Structure 1
Amino acid sequence: MLSELSPDSSLLMPDFDGYKLSLDNVPIYTHQLTTGVSHREPTSHQFSFAFVRLFGLHNHLHGDPCTKDQVFLINDNGEIVKHLWNSDKRLFESSVVASTSTGAECRVLNPSLCLDAPGHAAAMTGGADGLLTVFFTGDRTTNEEWKQIASLKVSTPGVVRSLSFDQEKNELQILVESVVLKDAFPELESLKEGEAATLIHWLKVNPELGKGDDSVVFHKKICVHGVVEYVALEEGGQAIYICSEKEPVYAYDSVRPCTPTLERVLREPIAYTWSQTEENISVSFNIPAGVDSINTEVKEQNLKVTIASPCGQFSKEVINGTLVQSVLPEIDTKNVDGSVELRLTKTEAGVDWFEFIRNDPNGTMAANEVDVEKANSCLDKYTSEKQAKDAEGLGHGFNNSQLEECDELPASSKLQRLPLESHSPSHIVLLSSQQWLGNSRTPIAGQQPTLLLRHDVDALVWQPGHHLESLTQHLATFPGFGYVQASKTSKKWLVWPPGASWVAVVDTHRHIYLYHQPQPLQTQLINRKSGQKVKTVAKQQVVGLPDNSARVLGVYPEDDKLFVLLANNSIVVVQVNQA
C-alpha cells in the first residue's frame, strides 16, 4: 500500500514567533571514567561514504528504555559497564555487568549494544569474526551480572540496531547493520567494483536450541545499494521498517528461497521510447545486467522483441503488438552497455506515425532533432536574449544561486515495511519532499524508534506503526527547528526525549544547543512594535561542554536530562528541565 505523510494540523504552529535566547543556568555534572571507552577510527580500506557514516555517527552511549537514569557503554577491556545516575548525590554509581570475548586489537568496527527488549540485550564486539552475543539481563535496576545465553557469528561484522523478544516462544529477533564491498558480496549485481552497500542481517534466535549457530531459527539478509537512514523491528517482530534511497533487496533467506535479482527485475515492464524520420523508426530501451541476447521478429504487421539471460534461464517480452504501419523485416540492433537501439525501415517513406504499437502504455514518443530544430526556428521571433525588467504582472524572478542549502529538496527516499512472510513491502511511505533529520535514541519499550523529518520550516516527530492507516503517526512538532538546525554546520546528532518537550543540536565538540517547546507565560507581554500580545515563549539555551577539545562520542536523552559521552573518557549530565 502506497501512502504519504499526513501532518496533524492541530500540532502545527503557524503563528510561531521564533526562539528566544535564555540566560537561565543549565546545571552540568561531570563523571570521569576509570577505563577508557572502546573507540576506533576507520582504516584506509574503509574509505567509502557508508563506512565513514557508520563510524562517524556511531553512538557509544546506550540507554535503557525500560529504566531511567542509567546508561551503558563498552570499555577498552571489552566490559559492559552500567552507570547509574544518583540525582540526590549528583554522581554515578558504576558496575561491570558483563564482558565480551574479543579484545580491542581484533576489532574492525566500534562495539555496539542494544537494550530494546526487557530482560535481554544483544552486543557485537566489532570484531572481524562478526561475533554476536545475546545476554539475559534480568532486572537491569540491580547490579547482577548478565548471563550469556547465545553466541553466534554473523557473516559480516556490524552494529546491532534493534531487538525484540517474544516471551511466549522465548525467541529473540535481532537486526544487525553491516557495510560490505563488492569483493565481499558479489551477489549484488548492480554494485560496481570498490562500491559499498549496506547489509541488514535479520535473525531470530532461540537459546533453547543451543548456545551457538544452532540457536538460529532463521537468518535473512537484506541488501541496499548505498546507506540506510532507519531500520527497526516492528513490535511483535512481524516486520521490519527500513528507510533508504535505493530499493532493499533480499539477498538470502534461510526459510524462503530468494528470487534471483535478474528474474525479479524482468517481472517489471520495460519502458521504451521511439522517434521517427521520414524513412526510419528508432526504438530505445535499457536492459538489466545479465541479459545477453536480444531477439526481434516481424510477422506481417506484428513486432515482437524479446530479451533473455544466458542459456535462456529467464526471458521477457519488451514489445509484442501490432504496428501502426508496416515495416521491412530487417531490423538493425545495437547494444552499448545495456542501452539498446532498434532501427526499423518504413515501407511507406514520408508517412508520419501518430503511434508506434497500438494501445501500448510502455512506449513514449520522443521528438527527433530535425523536428526540434524546426520548432525552435518557428519560436525565435517570440523570444529574446534580454531579460524583461519591471514587466507588469511578472513579479520578481529567482534563480538557484539565491536558494539556501537548507531549501534544497532531498533525494527521493522511502520508508517501507517488509513483512516477515514476504520479500515484498506491504506498505510504502514516500518521503520525496521531506528532509531526513534524525532517529530517536530513546525508543519507548515495545515501540519502534521515532523519526524526525523536516516539514517546511518545522521539524515533525513521526511514529511508525503497522496498525496506522498511513503507516506513520504525527506525534509532535518542533516549530521552526527545521530551518534552525540547517545553520548548525558542526552538528553531529539531533536528539529529543520521548516526551518531545525539547530538542537538542549536539555538535561534534564544544557546544549543545537546546530548543524548548513554547510554554505559556504567567504574566502578559506585549510586543512594543506590533502591539501583539505574546502568550507563549520558546526558549533557546546554549550549553558549553567542560572540555572544548574533546569530541562527543555518544548521547542519550531523557525527559529531564541529557547524557553526553566525551572522548576524554568522561560522562556529562546536562540537567535540561529542573524539577
Structure 2
Amino acid sequence: MEAANCSLRVNRLLLDPKFESYKLSLDPLPCYSVELDAAVAEVKLRDDQYTLDHMRAYGMYNYLHSNSWSSDSMFYVDQLGRVMNITVTLDTALGKPVEVFRLPSDVSACDRRLCASMHFTSPSWVTLSDGTGTLYLIHVAEPAESAPGKWALKFNQELGDPFIVVHSVFSAEAQVVHVLMLSIEKDELDVEGSGFHVSLEWVSIACNTSPDGKCEIVKRRKFHGKSVPHYAAIELDGNGLMIISYKPFRSTDSEQDQPQEERMDEDGKKEPLYFWQQTAEDVTLTFHLPDGTTKEDIKIQFSPYLISISLKEQETFLKGQLYSVIDHESSTWIVKDERSVEVTLAKRDKGSMWTELIVGDKQGEFVADPVQCATIAQRLMHLTSETLNPDPDCEKPACNAQELEECDISLEDSTTLCRFDSNTLKATHVVNLGSNQYLFSVVAAPKMMPCFSLRHDVDALLWQPASSPGDNLWEHAATFNALGYVQASKQDKKFFTCAPDFSYAALCECVRRIFIYRQPTPVSTVLYNRKEGRHVGQVAKQQVASLEISDPILGFQASNERLFVLTTKKLFVIRVNTAV
C-alpha cells in the first residue's frame, strides 16, 4: 500500500487574527524548592559523542519525568541508582523526594552508559532504562492513602547497545506493553556523513500481573534514520507509529525482505531501484531486469496520474501517484537488450519540470541531462559573480542575509510527519511539514497520544494525533498566539512545554530564567486600544521567573497549576495557576 500524502487541517475558529501581543506582568510567582538527598544522575557527553544528533538525544535530555496518570507527580533518578518521587499537594509543605525503586545493579561503572530514562505507560506499568542497554518493566500497585504505590520488577533484559526510552503504551486487550527506544549507532557504511545513524527499536512485551507471572518479548522491530526524531510515539492500540523527523526513517525489517543485490551495489552503497530523467516534453524511466525475465513477464499500466509496474518475481515492482498528469495514451515502454526497460511518459503540461517521479518515493535517482544543465547555467550566468557584491551602489543592492531575523531562517524545510503500520512497517500517511518548525510535545490526556506543537506563521499550533487511523489523523487542539515568533528570539532556550489544559505555555533557558505565556483571559477593568479606540476585553500575559541558583537546568515539566524545574541538587516548584 502506497503512503497517502496528507495535510494538517487548521481549525480557523482556534485562530485569533486580532491578537496584538503579550503584556509583561510583574505579578510575583510563588516559588518553592526542596534540597535533594543525592544529586541527579546526570551523564555528560563523551568525546566520541560529538555529533548534533548526540547533543539533541543525550545532551539536551529532560531528566525530570512526569506521571501523566497522577497530577503533580514527578520522578527522577539520582546518582545512587534510586528512582525518586515527589508528589505535590500543598506548595508550602513540600516533602522530601521518596524512593520508589532502586536499580538492581550498579551502573556507574559502565563507561558507555547513557542517562537513565523512563516512561509511565499506564497507571499500573512503568518502562525504565538504566542507560547500559537493559530494559526494565515495572508493575505499580494501587497507591496507599499516604504513600505512593509499590513498584515491583516484573521483567528485565539486556537488549544490546545503550538506549533511552522514548515512549510506551499498554494494550489492555492483548496484555502487551509496547516500548519505543532510541539509540545512536556507529554506521560503518556512512563514509561521507557523520558516521552514525539513529535507531528506533519497537519492542512488544507480553505481560502478566500475577505474582509468579512471566513477561517476555514477543516482537522486535527496528527503524533507521539519519537524524534524531523530533517526535516519536506509538498509537495506543499498538497498530501504528508516528515520527516527525528532518530526515526519513525506514524499517530495517522491510529492507531485509528485499534481495541483497537489489539493495547494495559492489561498493556497499544502496543501489537505486530505477533511474529517471526528463525533458520539456517527456519523462524517461529506466530500470534493470532480473535475470531470466522476459517481455511476457512485464506488465506496465498507465493512467493520467498513476503508474503500475509488475514483474514475474515481484507482484508490484513499482507503483504510485505520478508527480504530474501525463498523456497515458502516448506513453510507451520498450525492452532494451533484454537487460533493461525504458518507459517514456508523455507530459500533458509541456515545459513543466518535475521534482520527483512518484510522489513520496525515494527509491529512484534523477539523472540530469548534461546539455540541459549547460543551457541552464548559461542562462543564469548573468546572475552570478565571483565577488560578494560587485555593484554596491546600484539602485537595488544584493540581499544581505544579515538583515534577516533568526526566526525567519528555517533549516527544517524537509521535515516530515509519517505514520507507519505495525504489520507492514511501511509508511501509510505522510505530511510534508515544510517550514512548520517543530516546537515541543506534551501529554494533554494520558489516554491519548502525546500532542505536538508546530509553528504556523507566527503562532504555535498544538496537534492531537488520533488513536486510530482515519480521514483526519491529526486534530488542531489549541493555539498559542504569536508564540512561534516569540520563542525564536530565545536563543538560550532549553526546554519548551505547556499545561495539559493549554492554559499557558512555558520555556526555560539553560540556566535560571523561566518564561511563562498565558492564554488571553478577560480583564476586570475597562481597557481601550489607544490607536484604534476599541474596547479590549482580553489580555495575554507574559511572566518571568528567575531561580536563585546558577546550576544548569536538567529537567522541566508542567502541570495545570505548577511548573517543576530540576537542577543537579534542587527541585523548584513554581505556582502558576490556582485551582478553581
TM-score interval (norm. to shorter): 0.7 to 0.9
Q: Which amino acid is the alignment partner of residue 158 of structure 1? A: F
Instruction: Provide the rounded CA distance (Å) in 2 between the counterparts of 1:373 and 1:12.
Output: 45
Answering whether residue 132 of structure 2 is matched by residue 132 of structure 1, we say no
Q: 1:150 to 1:388 in 2, by over 3 A?
A: same
Instruction: Provide the rounded CA distance (Å) in 1 between the counterparts of 2:209 and 2:272.
Output: 39
Q: How does 1:330-341 map to 2 (within 5 A)?
A: none
Query: 1:195-237 deviations in whole A, cap 9, x for unaligned?
Result: 2211111011124599999811000111111221111111111
Q: 1:200 to 1:534 in 2, by over 3 A?
A: same
Q: How far 1:175 sits from its partner (Å)? A: 0.7
Query: 1:46-89 deviations in whole A, cap 9, x for unaligned?
Result: 11211111222211111111111211111111111111213164
Instruction: Provide the rounded CA distance (Å) in 2 between the counterparts of 1:550 and 1:284.
Output: 61
Q: How far 1:555 sits from its partner (Å)? A: 1.2
Contact in 1 for aligned 2:284/2:343 (Cα 8 Å): no
Question: Structure 1 residue runs of 4+, over 4 Å off?
Answer: 189-194, 208-214, 264-269, 283-287, 319-323, 360-379, 384-390, 396-399
Contact in 1 for aligned 2:558/2:564 (Cα 8 Å): yes
Partner of 2:252: 251
Instruction: Provide the rounded CA distance (Å) in 2 between the counterparts of 1:238 and 1:268.
Output: 29
Instruction: Provide the rounded CA distance (Å) in 2 between the counterparts of 1:76 and 1:159.
Output: 17
Q: How far 1:513 sits from its partner (Å)? A: 0.5
Q: Which runs of 5+ in 2 are unaligned?
A: 264-269, 292-312, 319-330, 348-356, 358-366, 384-389
Instruction: Provide the rounded CA distance (Å) in 2 between the counterparts of 1:214 and 1:116.
Output: 15
Partner of 2:543: 541
Which deviates the most, 507-516 or 1-10?
1-10
Contact in 1 for aligned 2:32/2:91 (Cα 8 Å): no
Partner of 1:66: 69
182, 189, 203: which one pairs with 1:177? Answer: 182
Contact in 2 for aligned 1:116/1:443 (Cα 8 Å): no
Q: How far 1:498 sits from its partner (Å)? A: 1.1
SS in 1 for 2:150: coil
Q: Which amino acid is the alignment partner of residue 69 of structure 1? A: D
Q: Which amino acid is the alignment partner of residue 39 of structure 2? A: G
Partner of 2:439: 437
SS in 1 for 2:485: helix
Which deviates the most, 239-248 or 554-563?
239-248
Q: How far 1:434 sits from its partner (Å)? A: 0.4
Q: How far 1:9 sits from its partner (Å)? A: 0.5
Partner of 2:242: 241
Partner of 1:115: 120
Partner of 2:512: 510
Contact in 2 for aligned 1:220/1:252 (Cα 8 Å): yes
Q: How far 1:116 sits from its partner (Å)? A: 2.9
68, 80, 83: which one pairs with 2:83? Answer: 80
Instruction: Provide the rounded CA distance (Å) in 2 between the counterparts of 1:233 and 1:179.
Output: 20
Q: 1:456 to 1:100 in 2, by over 3 A?
A: same
Q: 1:101 to 1:25 in 2, by over 3 A?
A: same
Q: How far 1:262 sits from its partner (Å)? A: 6.6
Q: 1:126 to 1:387 in 2, by over 3 A?
A: same
Partner of 2:364: none
Q: 1:388 to 1:46 in 2, by over 3 A?
A: closer
Partner of 1:302: none
Partner of 2:199: 199
Q: How does 1:95-106 map to 2 (within 5 A)?
A: 95-103=98-106, 104-106=108-110
Which deviates the most, 164-173 or 238-247?
164-173
Q: 1:389 to 1:462 in 2, by over 3 A?
A: same
Partner of 1:227: 228
Q: 1:202 to 1:140 in 2, by over 3 A?
A: farther
Instruction: Provide the rounded CA distance (Å) in 2 between the counterparts of 1:474 and 1:369.
Output: 44
Q: How far 1:252 sits from its partner (Å)? A: 3.7
Q: Which amino acid is the alignment partner of residue 492 of structure 1? A: K
SS in 2 for 1:7: coil
Contact in 1 for aligned 2:32/2:92 (Cα 8 Å): no
Which deviates the most, 426-435 or 25-34?
426-435
Instruction: Provide the rounded CA distance (Å) in 2 between the counterparts of 1:81 and 1:537.
Output: 39
SS in 1 for 2:427: coil
Which deviates the most, 58-67 or 138-147?
138-147
Partner of 1:572: 572
Q: How far 1:554 sits from its partner (Å)? A: 0.5
Instruction: Provide the rounded CA distance (Å) in 2 between the counterparts of 1:358 and 1:420.
Output: 36
Q: How far 1:491 sits from its partner (Å)? A: 0.2
Q: Which runs of 5+ in 1 are unaligned?
A: 184-188, 276-282, 295-311, 330-355, 391-395
* Largest Rg, 1 or 2: 1
Instruction: Provide the rounded CA distance (Å) in 1 between the counterparts of 2:380 and 2:35.
Output: 73
Q: 1:400 to 1:5 in 2, by over 3 A?
A: farther
Instruction: Provide the rounded CA distance (Å) in 2 between the counterparts of 1:563 and 1:34.
Output: 17
Q: 1:193 to 1:168 in 2, by over 3 A?
A: same
Q: Which amino acid is the alignment partner of residue 516 of structure 1? A: R
Identity in percent: 27
Query: 1:468-487 deviations in whole A, cap 9, x for unaligned?
Result: 52321111111011111011
Q: How far 1:268 sits from its partner (Å)? A: 5.1
Q: Which amino acid is the alignment partner of residue 62 of structure 1? A: H
Q: How far 1:269 sits from its partner (Å)? A: 4.2
Instruction: Provide the rounded CA distance (Å) in 2 between the counterparts of 1:262 and 1:545.
Output: 59
Contact in 2 for aligned 1:203/1:219 (Cα 8 Å): yes
Q: 1:286 to 1:135 in 2, by over 3 A?
A: farther
Answering whether residue 430 of structure 2 is matched by residue 425 of structure 1, we say no
Instruction: Provide the rounded CA distance (Å) in 2 between the counterparts of 1:516 and 1:378.
Output: 52
Instruction: Provide the rounded CA distance (Å) in 2 between the counterparts of 1:464 and 1:373.
Output: 45
Q: 1:258 to 1:387 in 2, by over 3 A?
A: farther
Q: 1:374 to 1:55 in 2, by over 3 A?
A: closer
Structure 1 length as normaliser, TM-score?
0.77
Partner of 1:337: none
Answering whether residue 29 of structure 2 is matched by residue 20 of structure 1, we say no
Q: Which amino acid is the alignment partner of residue 453 of structure 2? A: L
Q: Which amino acid is the alignment partner of residue 113 of structure 1? A: M
Query: 1:125-165 deviations in whole A, cap 9, x for unaligned?
Result: 111xx100100012256434311111111222111111111
Answering whether residue 152 of structure 2 is matched by residue 147 of structure 1, we say yes
Q: Which amino acid is the alignment partner of residue 439 of structure 2? A: L
Query: 1:415-454 deviations in whole A, cap 9, x for unaligned?
Result: 11111111211111221120111122x4521211111110
Partner of 2:455: 454
Q: Which amino acid is the alignment partner of residue 47 of structure 2? A: S
Q: 1:513 to 1:535 in 2, by over 3 A?
A: same
Query: 1:2-31 deviations in whole A, cap 9, x for unaligned?
Result: 111221100011100100010111000001
Answering whether residue 166 of structure 2 is matched by residue 164 of structure 1, we say no
Q: 1:97 to 1:530 in 2, by over 3 A?
A: same
Q: How far 1:525 sits from its partner (Å)? A: 0.8
The count of corresponding residues between Structure 1 and Structure 2 is: 505
Q: Which amino acid is the alignment partner of residue 526 of structure 2? A: Q
Instruction: Provide the rounded CA distance (Å) in 1 between the counterparts of 2:17 and 2:8.
Output: 18
Instruction: Provide the rounded CA distance (Å) in 1 between the counterparts of 2:29 and 2:169.
Output: 36
Q: 1:193 to 1:578 in 2, by over 3 A?
A: closer
Q: How far 1:560 sits from its partner (Å)? A: 0.8
Partner of 2:296: none
